[in-house]
Amino acid sequence: MQSLKKSPLNEVHINLGAKMVPFAGWLMPIQYSGIIDEHLTVREKAGLFDLTHMGEIIVTGPRAEEYVQKLITNNTAKLADGKAFYTVICFETGGIVDDVIVYRFKKDEYMFVVNASNADKVFAWFRKKLIPEVKLIDKSPKTALLAVQGPASEKILLNVGLNVGSLNYFEFTRQTYRGIECIIARTGYTGEDGFEIFFPVDYAFSLWATLNTAGKKYGLKPVGLGARDTLRIEVGYPLYGNEIDEKTNPVEAGLSWVVDMEKDFIGKESLKQYAGGKTARRLIGFRTIERAVPRAHYDIFSGGNKVGYVTSGTLSPSLDRGIGMGYVPAEMSEAGSHIDISIRGKMVKAEIVKKPFYTGGSIKRDKIS
């Protein structure tokens, strides 16, 4: 077995009593105080996440914009310096290479934040599609990523002297903080207001300690990957490997909002067949009628027939109800329809509902430009 990569904060997590688990080739904390406690802390106060496993790829050069435009389904015309957006990267087949956030530093310089599980694959894909006058730099090994998420996030960052008050949702700034070159973005994966801070790995310990100490009086706690998953499920965000993968297209996954069919990009020809949202299956959100715990890979039934499967599921800590996502035939995907989830051999009734499941988050959606 290939040895696991360790975060520079590995010792810190262990000393905090974290349970460490292998995740995408890394040894990362799955929980500290407990998934439910950490989850509710992020919803009510703030959580501190070590996300150093995420990959960062820099794309620079005179033809960078043209290159990025070709790789992604979203349109770079929507970006400006200091702005970021969510997008997917497709194969020619329309299947998804990865879902990423693209940050524009300048017209000829971008940063892609990619899933740890896909980092090598994405970099190889970028190299394969490389054009002259564009340079790729894999910054992952030298970049740490901490996230502060939750309604108290802004107060905590301002308290330690990070200058983030003027940032809107999906905007970022580059600033030097106590000698540390940071990229601070108002982005996240929790449905709450919050920030992601990219900086050189050597400073991981000091920045973690600063945030964790200053955050205490605002109720901040360290949060692991377990709660990161339940938080993102509650707001219906897809996870690569669950809702989307190489055999999934962005239209059936409900991601048409990041696909611009008016521009040219890899995979566009294949996606044309789904014009108007015509796919055989659709990703749905569902809520169990009684208290139950749906999980990935459980079968979905309708009228006694197997019609689909669950991609992610959990007992929602905020709603105290089983929630999940899954694929069903498009004609059965209407909100309000009833389905059954086969949970350990028993049929549990569920209702198809619109995502997000949890709508009380602190994200300043009105600030989306």
Partner 1 sequence: MSIPEELKYTVSHEWIKVKDNIGTVGITDYAQDKLGDVVFVELPKVGAELEANSEVAVIESVKTAADVYTPLSGKIVKVNTLLDKDPSFINSDPYNKGWIFEIQIKDVSELEKLMDSTVYQNKISED
For partner 1, the binding residue among 73, 118, 210, 230 (CB under 8 A) is 230
Query: Distance (Å, rounded) from C-alpha 194 to C-alpha 192?
Result: 6
Q: What is the DSSP string of 5-35?
A: EE-TTHHHHHHTTPEEEEETTEEEEEESS-H
CB-based contact 12:33 (threshold 8 Å): no
Structure tokens at 345: 């051999």
- 341 - beta bridge partners? 300, 348
How many residues sit in the footprint of partner 1 (CB under 8 A)? 17
CB-based contact 111:56 (threshold 8 Å): yes
Q: Which is nearer to partner 1, 35 or 156 (CB)?
A: 35
Structure tokens at 163: 């200058």
Q: Nearest approach, Cβ of 166 to partner 1 (angstroms)? A: 37
Q: Nearest approach, Cβ of 41 to partner 1 (angstroms)? A: 13
Within positions 326 to 355, which residues make up the interface with partner 1, using CB under 8 A? 344
Q: Is 324 helix (H, G, I), strand (E, B) or coil?
A: strand
For partner 1, the binding residue among 11, 14, 34, 216 (CB under 8 A) is 34
Q: Among the candidate windows 35-43, 196-204, 259-267, 359-367, which touches partner 1 by CB under 8 A?
A: 35-43
Using the rule CB under 8 A, is 317 a contact of partner 1? Answer: yes
For partner 1, the binding residue among 9, 18, 28, 31 (CB under 8 A) is 31
Q: Nearest approach, Cβ of 315 to partner 1 (angstroms)? A: 4
Using the rule CB under 8 A, is 314 a contact of partner 1? Answer: yes
Q: Among the candidate windows 31-39, 68-76, 170-178, 259-267, which touches partner 1 by CB under 8 A?
A: 31-39
Q: Among the candidate windows 79-87, 104-112, 176-184, 312-320, which touches partner 1 by CB under 8 A?
A: 312-320
For partner 1, the binding residue among 315, 323, 332, 339 (CB under 8 A) is 315
Q: Nearest approach, Cβ of 369 to partner 1 (angstroms)? A: 36
Within positions 292 to 311, which residues make up the interface with partner 1, using CB under 8 A? 292-293, 295
Q: What Rg, from alpha-carbon coordinates, does the chain have? A: 20
Q: Which is nearer to partner 1, 30 or 167 (CB)?
A: 30
Structure tokens at 207: 């920045």
For partner 1, the binding residue among 36, 130, 180, 258 (CB under 8 A) is 36
Within positions 72 to 131, which residues make up the interface with partner 1, using CB under 8 A? none
| Short-list 65, 28, 64, CA closest to 49 | 28
Using the rule CB under 8 A, is 27 a contact of partner 1? Answer: no
Query: Distance (Å, rounded) from C-alpha 134 to C-alpha 108?
Result: 9
Using the rule CB under 8 A, is 318 a contact of partner 1? Answer: no
Structure tokens at 148: 């502060």
Beta-carbon count within 10 A of 107 CB: 13
Q: Which is nearer to partner 1, 247 or 344 (CB)?
A: 344
Using the rule CB under 8 A, is 54 a contact of partner 1? Answer: no
Q: Nearest approach, Cβ of 101 to partner 1 (angstroms)? A: 26
Q: What is the DSSP string of 154-192?
A: HHHHHHTT---TTPPTTBEEEEEETTEEEEEES--SSSS
Using the rule CB under 8 A, is 256 a contact of partner 1? Answer: no
CA 202 distance to own-chain centroid: 25
Query: Distance (Å, rounded) from C-alpha 177 to C-alpha 191?
Result: 27
Using the rule CB under 8 A, is 255 a contact of partner 1? Answer: no
Residue 50 phi, psi dihedral angles, 5° rounding: -95, 115
CB-based contact 361:316 (threshold 8 Å): no
Q: Which residues bind partner 1 (CB under 8 A)?
A: 19, 30-31, 34-37, 226, 230, 291-293, 295, 314-315, 317, 344
